A and B are shown apart, each in its own frame.
Chain A
Amino acid sequence: MTQNIVEIDNLSFGYKNRTLHKGISMTFPKGKVVAIMGGSGSGKTTLLRLIGGQFKPSAGEVRVTGEVVHKQSRGGLYQLRRKMGMLFQQGALFTDLSVYDNVAFPMRELSDLSESMIRDLVLLKLHAVGLRGAHQLMPTELSGGMARRVALARAIALDPQIMMYDEPFAGLDPISMAVICDLIRTLNDALGITSIVVTHDVEETFSFADYIYFVADGVVAAEGSPDDLRQSTLPFIHQFVHGEKDGPVPFHYATGDYKQDLLGPEA
């Protein structure tokens, strides 16, 4: 039986007066690339933050390698986070540090490695994302795609067991997109990690993911392999996968009668 690295069990979460998740359950088996898809604002990124322990669920639990995330002490949570790497939407590189120092940052902060060892590791990680030649550049000198690759190198700096990607393709050109797509799959297989990808890019995700969860209205609306979902007749999945502008997800934000809005209440 495949071991589940991350398990989300009947999880509910909401901000002040808005419920975002209403009893979501998901499993992320070891060595697989699992995508979480859904429209903007469906709480996908929040799910990653719940896995990372940055938010506390209002009900249910998230388990990472068998340990309940929100029941950890601060020290325990930091220990758990050492098993995770996260690629943020815009990379979140430290703008006052060079590419080299960005990748070296977690090693310097969390390990006792010597500088010469760190140098070898940094170059190794940068080589894996194809940016060894850019190690002395500053983050401001990088394109969006390059910044995200550097952030990826930084996220895998300490060889995490789980990689989380928050909208890794947002705002990228097709070449950078293909590169990131390829890297997610390659790193997953070469390093034997488990990847969780939050995205709304259908084609790219369907090309590399092993399993996909669709989140809508705070619940898992559908799940399955890319092939299963392509065949899906569920109206929401059909609309999403084929990018149709109207369907179960309406084009118009919920509002009153159009005619009455324009002509006033007496019309």
Chain B
Amino acid sequence: MINFLRNVGSNFIDQIWRLGAGGRLFGLMLISSGESFRRFRLVVREVYFTGVNSLVIISVSAFFVGMVLALQGYHTLQKYGSSEAIGVLVALALVRELGPVVTALLFAGRAGTAITAEIGLMKATEQLSAMEMMAVSPIARVIAPKFWAGVISLPILAALFSMIGILGGYLVAVPLIGVDAGAFWSQMQANVDWQFDILNGVIKSVVFGVACTMIALFEGYDAPPTAEGVSRATTRTVVTSSLAVLALDFALTSFMII
């Protein structure tokens, strides 16, 4: 019993400590971000690795998510005789929720793990130490460009996700089921609000971008420099990022709706 309490206590302290260490890294990273903007090609290179390389998984998933949404939506809406509203349903579901959330979850699995593993291995092979000893700050040179690349990539990927999802929904609703194309697009145009739907979706994806990238970077930076340490850190990146995205989504949605 005492051991159990001791374990709970030490785990709790450990988590608080990690939160503090993560916050400290975030602060240091923000202070050292000047270099990323002066030499923007460092960020562009990372945008390629995190963003462009995630395009395939994002596009394919978006296409299927859009198609499933149209199928399920039509099935329910036709019971109420409003199957023309299918376009609005697909668009709102994607732009407000699924676009940012699913993109962030996929981003954590595809790009987040890659970031954690790369930083963890750079640490294990003393590359970060070597940089420190050369009087080059690894936070300014490695961490900050990756962070800004993640924050830039995720909203763009989420926008693409929504766009391709809508296309998938259209293909199922219009050519396959036979909903009127005019009704599909015009209802969407009339009911999707620029500020309340699209802008809120963008805000969500920026917040998720900050959270996912920062978690991935911290886990890599904090990983014990061993094979086991890096593998655990990679797993933790996916678990923590996913939970953070879902919790943040609830919090943000409640702010945006009320």
Which positions in A face B, CB cutoff 8 Å?
Answer: 52, 54, 78-79, 81-82, 84, 86, 88-90, 92-95, 105-106, 109-110, 151
Report yes or no: A95 in contact with B133, Cβ–Cβ below 8 A. Answer: no
Q: Within the complex, what minimum Cβ distance (angstroms) separates B145 from chain A?
A: 13
Q: How far is the CB of B82 from chain A (nearest CB, A)?
A: 54
Check: B72 CB closer than 8 A to any chain A CB.
no
A-side contacts of B141, CB under 8 Å = 109
Tell me the complex Cα distance, A149–B3, Å.
52
Q: What 6 pairs across the A-B complex have the smallest Cβ distances?
A: A92-B130, A92-B126, A78-B135, A81-B135, A86-B133, A109-B136
Contact A52 B135 (CB under 8 A): no
Complex interface: chain A residues within 8 A of B132 (CB): 52, 54, 81
Most buried by B among A52, A82, A106: A106
Q: Indicate with 1 or 0, residue by residue over B230-248, a CB within 8 angstroms of chain A CB atoms.
A: 0000000000000000000
With an 8 A cutoff between CB atoms, is B189 at the interface?
A: no
Contact B130 A81 (CB under 8 A): no
What residues on A are CB-neighbors of B136 within 8 Å? 105-106, 109-110
Contact assessment for A88 and B130 in the assembled complex, using a CB-CB cutoff below 8 Å:
yes
Complexed CA–CA distance, A151 and B130 (Å): 10
A81 contacts which chain B residues (CB < 8 A)? 132-135
Are the C-beta atoms of A79 and B129 separated by less than 8 Å?
A: no
Please determine whether A88 and B134 come into contact, CB atoms closer than 8 angstroms: no
Q: CB-CB < 8 A to A78: which residues of B?
A: 135, 137
Contacts of A89 in B (CB 8 A): 126
With an 8 Å Cβ cutoff, the count of chain B residues facing the other chain is 12
Q: Is the CB of B126 within 8 A of A84?
A: no
- Interface CB pairs A-B, < 8 A, 27: A52-B132, A54-B129, A54-B132, A78-B135, A79-B135, A81-B132, A81-B133, A81-B134, A81-B135, A84-B133, A86-B133, A88-B126, A89-B126, A92-B126, A92-B127, A92-B130, A93-B127, A94-B130, A95-B125, A95-B127, A105-B136, A106-B134, A109-B134, A109-B141, A110-B134, A110-B136, A151-B130
A55 to chain B, nearest CB (A): 11
The one of B127, B129, B133, B135 in contact with A94, judged by C-beta atoms closer than 8 angstroms, is B127
B-chain residues with CB within 8 Å of residue A110 when the two chains form the complex: 134-136
Residues in A whose Cβ lies below 8 Å from that of B133: 52, 54, 81, 84, 86
* Other-chain residue from A54, A84, A90 in contact with B125 (beta carbon distance below 8 A): A90
A90 near B126 with CB under 8 A, answer yes
Min C-beta distance of B153 to chain A, whole Å: 18
Inside 8 A of B125's CB, which chain A residues have their CB? Answer: 90, 92, 95
A-contacting residues, B113-137, CB 8 Å: 125-127, 129-130, 132-137
* Distance A106 CA – B136 CA, assembled complex (angstroms): 8
- Shortest distance between the CB of B53 and any CB in chain A (Å): 14
Give A94 to B130 CA distance when docked, in angstroms.
Answer: 9
Bound-complex Cα distance A94 to B123 (A):
11
| Bound form: Cα–Cα A109–B136 in Å | 7
Cα separation A105 to B138 with both chains bound (whole Å) = 13
Q: Which residues of B are found within 8 Å of A109, using beta-carbon distances?
A: 134, 136, 141
Decide if A86 touches B130 in the complex (CB within 8 Å).
yes
> Pick the contact of A82 from B126, B127, B130, B135 — CB < 8 Å?
B135
Which residues in B have their C-beta under 8 angstroms from that of A92? 125-127, 129-130
9 new A-B contacts at CB < 8 Å, known A88-B129, A109-B141? A52-B133, A78-B137, A81-B133, A81-B135, A90-B125, A92-B127, A95-B125, A106-B136, A109-B134
Chain A residue at minimal CB-CB distance from B132:
A54
Interface residues of B in 84-137 (CB under 8 A from A): 125-127, 129-130, 132-137
**A106 neighbours in B (Cβ, 8 Å):** 134, 136
- The answer for the CA separation of A89 and B18 in the assembled complex, in Å, is 29
A99 to B206, CA, bound (A): 37
Complexed CA–CA distance, A110 and B129 (Å)? 16
Complex Cα distance A36/B21, Å?
34
Contacts of B135 in A (CB 8 A): 78-79, 81-82, 110
A90 vs B122: C-alpha distance when bound (angstroms): 12
What is the distance, in angstroms, from B31's C-beta to the closest C-beta of chain A? 11
Residue of A nearest to B130 (CB): A92
CB distance from A255 to the nearest CB of B (A): 26
Inter-chain contacts of A54 with B (CB < 8 A): 129, 132-133
